[in-house]
Amino acid sequence: MRRNWGNWGEFDAPRGSKSKKPVELKEIGEFGLISWIRGKMDLRDSNIASGIGDDAAVITPPKRCVSLVTTDILIEDTHFRLDYTDPLRLGKKALSINLSDIAAMGGTPQYFLLSMGLPLHLPFRWIEEFFHGVQQVAEEYNLSLIGGDTSLARKLTINVTLIGRGKAGEVIYRKGAQAGDQIMVTGTLGNAALGLRILKSHKGDSSISRAGDSDLAELIEKHFSPTSRIAEGRLIAKNHLASAMIDISDGLMADLGHILEESHAGAKIWISQLPLSEAYRRKAPQYISRDIDLAISGGEDYELLLTTPRKKGEKLLGLFRQSGLKITPIGEIVDPRYGLRLLLDDGREYTPRRKGHDHFKKPR
Ligand code: ADP
Ligand code: MG
């Protein structure tokens, strides 16, 4: 099978060799690769008694804390296309999406395991770039790689398990939202989904993001390199400001739906309050007919969605303002019998075309 590795095959003629052929994984082997990874990712934490190299990692559990453990998988052609994803950004994203889950619990990330299913003809250069991305994020958040698994696979598969810590009394769950609570969201909505829509409409040619239009570049970058809201999550948890929280990976509607289900509650969302970036406002109407829909149901924003008791709302907004972080009230928790409704300014209900992402359902 001929595969399109983007440009990653071309670079890598081994030093001194006349061959144009890139070094492939099959020449390095599973154990060669593991020892290369081990050399590359230094451990920075005295609580790790043993990391890569034994049957299981040995870590000292944090004192007076609970462990937060989360995992996420990225599969070629399901979550990313090799021909328009570069390995550096994929490496960053593999960690960022897990960081987002730790952020949503109000925790601090610490260790990760990285498992990879790799095709035989993968150029080694691709793996080097991928680890470059992993390292960048690991350094930014002071994370240590403590193990993983490596196997041959038909489709490239990346799985990260991230372990973090939190204080038992600070951890924020999806359950806990109560009627009267305000609903708030960090950052802006819909950028990643619009970025993907733009890429698809240009047949995946990501060079359009370098064509000089800064709006397009910003939106596409948000699709490839989501930001994780660790600082925001910590600020909220430390000050006990949220009654429930989740990160938005499958779209506002779908993820708010999870809070409502776990909390046995209903919600009103005011469409005109949804925070949109300037780039989104300018570009969305060119790419979709009902331009608010991607902010309502587009996936991969990785913003935090939370509910806060009304008497804590002002404090929360004040703390975010002081810290230079963005958060916006967008609605209110109500009785469960009300369900989930999106409201226009004149009080009419708005029904978006699709509700959110579900891997096993066709988009509506
Ligand atoms: P086992 O046969 O017990 O699964 P492996 O030979 O797969 O052990 O792994 C040897 C060591 O290398 C283990 O400590 C494992 O955690 C680590 N390891 C394997 N693959 C990776 C990877 N992709 N990233 C980080 N560590 C890895
Ligand atoms: Mg193994």
* Per-residue pLDDT in tens (0 to 9) along the chain, 364 residues: 345 544 444 444 445 555 556 788 888 889 999 999 999 887 778 899 999 999 999 999 888 999 999 999 999 999 998 887 899 999 999 999 999 999 999 999 999 999 999 998 899 999 999 999 999 999 999 999 999 999 999 999 999 999 999 999 999 999 999 999 999 999 999 999 999 999 989 876 777 777 789 999 999 999 988 889 999 999 999 999 999 999 999 999 999 999 999 999 999 999 999 999 999 999 999 999 899 999 999 999 999 999 999 999 999 999 999 999 999 999 999 999 999 999 999 999 999 987 666 677 655 4
User: How far away, in angstroms, is 86 Cα from ligand 1 center?
Assistant: 25
Considering every ligand atom shown, identify the ligand nearest to the alpha carbon of residue 54 and give its number. 1
* Domains of the chain, residue spans: 18-167, 182-350
Please tell me the residue having the least CA distance from ligand 1 atom 21.
Answer: 148
**Record: fold of 18-167:** 60s Ribosomal Protein L30; Chain: A; (3.30.1330)
Token readout for 27 is: 């020449």
Considering every ligand atom shown, identify the ligand nearest to the alpha carbon of residue 91 and give its number. 1
Q: How far is Cα 98 from Cα 298, in angstroms, rounded to an integer?
A: 19
Token readout for 309 is: 């008791």
CA gyration radius for the chain? 22
Do the domains at 18-167 and 182-350 have one common CATH topology? no
Instruction: Note whether 112 and 95 are within 8 A (CB).
Output: yes
- Using CB distances shorter than 6 Å, the residues near ligand 1 are 34, 37, 52-55, 114, 116, 145, 147-150
Instruction: Note whether 190 and 276 are within 8 A (CB).
Output: yes
Considering every ligand atom shown, identify the ligand nearest to the alpha carbon of residue 37 and give its number. 1
Q: What superfamily would CATH give domain 182-350?
A: PurM-like C-terminal domain (3.90.650.10)
Please tell me the residue having the least CA distance from ligand 1 atom 18.
Answer: 148
Tell me the Ramachandran region of residue 203: left when phi exceeds 0, alpha when psi lies from -120 to 50, beta otherwise: left
User: How far away, in angstroms, is 147 Cα from ligand 2 center?
Assistant: 9
Instruction: Note whether 159 and 57 are within 8 A (CB).
Output: no
Please tell me the residue having the least CA distance from ligand 1 atom 16.
Answer: 147
Please tell me the residue having the least CA distance from ligand 1 atom 5.
Answer: 149
pTM: 0.91
Nearest Cα to 106, choosing from 229, 270, 13, 212? 229
Q: What are the distances in angstroms from CA 310 to CA 90, 126, 181?
A: 39, 50, 5
Local structure of residue 54 (DSSP, 8 states)? B
